[in-house]
């Protein structure tokens, strides 16, 4: 087959929507959902924990709705779903969200691809129609889906984000690809990161270790007797 024939075949296949993700945001949406699912799986693996899904009114639901673009936790549309995580007795309940804004140290709002925070704080945000303070949040994950090696600028942006999130208890950079320069940059600044995160990748347990570390910090503060 000549290059011209191959190009013709590729044209026909692409026209049939063989790659059906027609925007970067659509690819990001499923990648953020994949990382969110790792949070849910990690919580579910803790023997004392219970997890369910709820909408913006706090009603349990099995029909999940996620945002197409970053929004606010206090959205007037109650359809958007979050995971409700109860780690164990005496430990304040948590919520995990996809694509919501938080307020940083400078009061500037930043998008967090995946965010875990106490339900008490989330309730306050819904009542007062404000975004949560980063310092009140347990974990923020910056998710990056890239078809190519990661650009160093993404790591630099994450360092800036982490700086403004200031007192957030745990911030993590999670990406589907690797890059020596990104790894070197983030490692050199002691910024938590996990790269090459894809389904069944060897790095998935490492991601779950970070998530569990965030849960442990929260649990040991409120009920050290429970071993998370």
Closer to another protein by CB, 30 or 108: give it. 30
Pattern 11-50, another protein, x by CB under 8 A: x-xxxxxxxxxxxxxxx-xxx-xx-xxx-xx--x-----x
The count of other CB atoms within 10 Å of the CB of residue 48 is 14
Q: 3-class SS at 49? A: coil
**Sign for the pseudo-dihedral over CA of 81, 43, 199, 73:** positive
Residue 158 binding another protein, by CB under 8 A: no
Residue 150 CB, shortest distance to another protein, in Å, is 9
Contact with another protein (CB under 8 A): which of 59, 62, 107, 225? 62
Residue 3 binding another protein, by CB under 8 A: yes
Residues 90-129 that bind another protein (CB under 8 A): none
Which is nearest to 201 in space by CA: 24, 31, 29, 20?
Answer: 31
Residue 214 CB, shortest distance to another protein, in Å, is 19
SS (H, E, C) 138-151: CEEEEEECCCCCCC
Inter-CA distances, 168 with 39, 64, 110, Å: 17, 27, 12
Angle at 219 between CA 214 and CA 220, to 5 degrees: 100
As a residue count, the chain comes to 228
Q: Give me the long-range contacts of 201-209 (CB less than 8 A, separation at least 24).
A: 204/38, 207/35, 207/38, 207/172, 207/174, 208/38, 208/41, 208/42, 208/45
**Sign for the pseudo-dihedral over CA of 39, 99, 136, 50:** negative
Residue 167 CB, shortest distance to another protein, in Å, is 27
Contact with another protein (CB under 8 A): which of 104, 145, 165, 170? 145
Residues 202-221 that bind another protein (CB under 8 A): none
Residue 78 binding another protein, by CB under 8 A: no
Residues 171-200 that bind another protein (CB under 8 A): 176-182, 184-185, 198-199
Residue 59 binding another protein, by CB under 8 A: no
Residue 57 binding another protein, by CB under 8 A: no
Residue 147 binding another protein, by CB under 8 A: yes
Cα gap 121→80, rounded to integer Å: 17
Stretch that binds another protein, among 62-70, 123-131, 164-172, 208-216 (CB under 8 A): 62-70
Closer to another protein by CB, 53 or 220: give it. 53
Residue 199 CB, shortest distance to another protein, in Å, is 4
């Amino acid at each position: 087959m000549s290059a011209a024939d191959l190009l013709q075949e590729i044209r026909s296949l692409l026209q049939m929507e063989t790659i059906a993700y027609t925007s970067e945001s659509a690819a990001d949406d499923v990648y953020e959902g994949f990382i969110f699912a790792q949070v849910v799986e990690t919580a579910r693996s803790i023997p004392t924990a219970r997890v369910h899904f709820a909408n913006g009114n706090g009603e349990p639901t099995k029909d999940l709705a996620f945002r197409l673009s970053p929004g606010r936790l206090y959205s007037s549309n109650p359809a958007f779903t979050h995971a409700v995580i109860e780690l164990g007795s005496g430990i304040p309940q948590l919520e995990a969200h996809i694509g919501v804004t938080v307020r940083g140290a400078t009061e500037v709002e930043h998008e967090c691809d995946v965010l875990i925070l106490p339900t008490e704080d989330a309730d306050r945000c819904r009542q007062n129609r404000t975004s949560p303070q980063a310092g009140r949040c347990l974990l923020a994950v910056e998710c990056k889906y890239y078809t190519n090696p990661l650009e160093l600028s993404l790591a630099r942006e994450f360092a800036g984000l982490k700086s403004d999130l200031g007192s957030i208890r745990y911030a993590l950079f999670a990406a589907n690809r690797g890059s020596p320069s990104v790894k070197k940059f983030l490692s050199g600044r002691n910024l938590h990161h996990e790269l090459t995160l894809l389904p069944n990748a060897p790095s998935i347990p490492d991601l779950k270790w970070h998530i569990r570390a965030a849960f442990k910090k929260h649990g040991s503060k409120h009920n050290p007797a429970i071993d998370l």
